[in-house]
Every structure is written in C-alpha cells, then in structure tokens.
A = this chain, B = another copy of it.
Amino acid sequence: MSPEDKPVPRAAPGRKKRLSREIVLSAALALVDAEGLDALTMRRLGQELGRDPMGLYRYAANRAALLDGVSELVLNELAIFPDDPDWQAQLRHIAHDLRLLALRHPNVVPLLVTRPLSTPLGLRPLGTLRPLEQILSLLIDAGFAPADALHVYRAYYGYLYGHILNELQELIVDPDENEALLRLGLHRLPPKDFPRLRSLAPVLANYDGAAELDQGISILLSGLAARLSPPDAQTRD
C-alpha cells in the first residue's frame, strides 16, 4: 500500500450523519463482540465509524468511560420482567436471561465483572444499578423485609455471576474442537497430580449450562426461602 493513500476506505462513505452516544456505543459493542476487548481502541473505533478518533471523546470522556458505556448498553438488553407473583419463578427467569445475555456477549463479561470493582456503588452508570433496584423491589414486594431482600439479592446475584464465569471459562468457541481441545489441554497435565480432573474430561466436555444454573438456583432459592422470614409463596392482595 502506498503511504500516500487515504489510510483506509472509510466504513460507509456516504453516511456522514451526526454521531450520537448510542451510535458510538453500539459500534463499540459490535467491535467487542466481534473481536474482543483488545480490539476496542479509539483509533479502531473511529475507523469503524468513519470518523476521526478524537471525535469520540465528545461521547465518552475517555476509554474507561467508553467501557462503562458498553457494559451499560449490554445490561440494558435485560428485559423487564412481567409481574409474576411468584418471586422464585421471576428470579429464575432473570437468571436465565442474564445467562443468555452473557453467552451473547461473552467478551463483555469481563467488563461487567471487573468495572464495578473500580467504581464505588453509588457512582456507577445508572443502567448498571437498575437490575439491583428491580430485584430489590421484587423481593420486597414479595414480602421480604428490606434487609433480608438485600441478603437474598446478594446470594442470588453472587451465585449467578459465579455461574456465568464458570460457564464461560469452560466454553470453547468451536463446538467440534471442543472435546479435542479439552483433551489436548488436559493431556498436558501431569497424571499424578491431576487424576480426578483428567478422568472427568468427558463430563467436562458436555456441559449443560442452563441445567446446571437452574439446579443451583433451585437450591439457593429454596434454601433462602426456608432460612429467611419466608414470605408466603402466594401473596394474596
């Protein structure tokens, strides 16, 4: 390529319409989904939008803010749940929704998990806090004392995030190579030190995330209901 050329034929030549936060963030999300977090550089995103990278700073104060925006955008995909009177069913439903969300955007999960660690609770993007508020009010409406609702929320979300991390760790992108890769990887382990792990290879290979999640949630929820001031399963009002 001769260095005199326009560096790259811009993404879409005709459409120089005005940018907006949403446009920028969705482009960023698309990029992360397609090529991973590292691909999301200001320059690359600018190129993707056919704009000068510096222009992006109009819509996100810096790269970190951009990342926050992306996680917020993803969390907004979480549908609002209908008001099912059965709180357990609702939590179960949300759990599966969030799981699917994570599988749809696996590259964003690290953001969802780590960004909050650097931002105190109250200062997070609002979209990030909405699920928390929703679940709290769901639980309180179901009859839990507010403080107990918080405990339930913590146990529930804790397990949920943990499960998602677990599942993504065991996820291999190419389903055909799944078992092969797994065995290949495990093959490297010294048999003396890792007998259990190695012998579990076949079980590891077919992992039913949804089922596993569902089972865990059941255990947790019934345990929580029993241990805390149990709101009558059917509230009548």
Contact = CB atoms under 8 A, between A and B. Distances in A.
Contact of A133 (B187, B188, B194): B194
Interface in A173-192: 181-190
A197 B204 CA distance: 39
Interface of A: 106, 109-110, 113-114, 116-117, 120-123, 126, 129-130, 132-133, 136-137, 140, 146-147, 149-151, 154-155, 157-163, 165-166, 168-170, 172, 181-190, 193-197, 199-200, 203-204, 212, 215-216, 218-220, 222-224, 227
Contacts of A109: 117
Contact of A196 (B140, B168, B183, B224): B140
A227 B200 CA distance: 21
Given A129-B194, A158-B163, A169-B116, A147 B219 contact: no
Contacts of A166: 154, 157-158, 161
Nearest to A151: B212
A184 B122 contact: yes
9 contacts: A113-B114, A123-B185, A126-B189, A133-B194, A150-B203, A151-B215, A155-B163, A161-B162, A219-B223
B133 A197 contact: yes
B165 A204 contact: no
Nearest to A178: B120
A76 to B, nearest CB: 14
A219 B155 contact: yes
Contacts of A151: 212, 215
A193 B162 contact: no
A211 to B, nearest CB: 10
Contacts of A162: 157-163, 165
Contacts of A197: 129, 132-133, 136
